[in-house]
Amino acid sequence: MVTAFDTLTISRSIRDAGVDERAAEAITQAIAAAISRERESLATQENLDATRVALQTSLDKTRGELQTNIDATRSVLQTNIDTTRSGLQTSIDKVRVDLQANIDAVRLELKADVARLDAKIDIVEQRLIAKMGELNNRTLLAMITIGGLIVAAIKLL
């Protein structure tokens, strides 16, 4: 709040203190000029209101710019995430295909190994059957021989 400056009252007070009239008026004018300069630099309610409006406008503008930047950054990040996700999915799919190919190759190798083992087992089985036949024939022959010997021994007795 600005108060009025009464130059006449000040000038009289200075004169009443014993200063001559011209000097009192000069002092009063100097004080008035100093106060006037100070008043010019003081903020009024209008100045404060205008500053408040300007600051609010600037703040609103800055908020808008920040929101725009946030939205743009979010969009770029989402694009990067989507690109990375797509790349990872492609890599995963490729690894899956490679693994399936490796699994299929191992299965084929195992089937070939099993077939080779089956063939070897069949050969061993055939050999065993042949050996068993031979042993059966020898056993039968040995039994016949023993039986003949027994019969001959009985006849001799």
Q: Of 1 and 19, which is predicted with more confidence? A: 19
Q: Which of 108, 107, 111, 109 lies closest to 119 in space, CA to CA?
A: 111
Which range is most confident: 36-40, 53-57, 136-140?
A: 53-57
Alpha carbon distances (Å) from 18 to 13, 14, 22, 28, 147 = 9, 7, 12, 14, 176
The mean pLDDT value for 60-68 works out to: 97
One domain, residues 145 and 77: yes
Count of domains forming the chain:
2
One domain, residues 30 and 48: no
The mean pLDDT value for 15-38 works out to: 88
Q: Of 123 and 140, which is predicted with more confidence? A: 123
CA distance linking residue 21 with residue 154, whole number of Å? 185
One domain, residues 56 and 38: no
Domain range for 65: 43-156
CB atoms within 10 A of CB 10: 17
One domain, residues 20 and 61: no
The answer to whether the beta carbons of residues 67 and 75 sit under 8 Å apart is no
What residues have CB less than 8 Å from 11, skipping those under 6 apart?
21, 24, 25, 27, 28
> What pLDDT shows up at residue 58?
97
Which range is most confident: 6-10, 24-28, 123-127, 136-140?
A: 123-127
CB atoms within 10 A of CB 24: 19
One domain, residues 87 and 114: yes
One domain, residues 27 and 90: no
> What pLDDT shows up at residue 7?
85
One domain, residues 21 and 60: no
Mean pLDDT in the chain? Answer: 91
One domain, residues 36 and 106: no
Q: Of 36 and 89, which is predicted with more confidence? A: 89
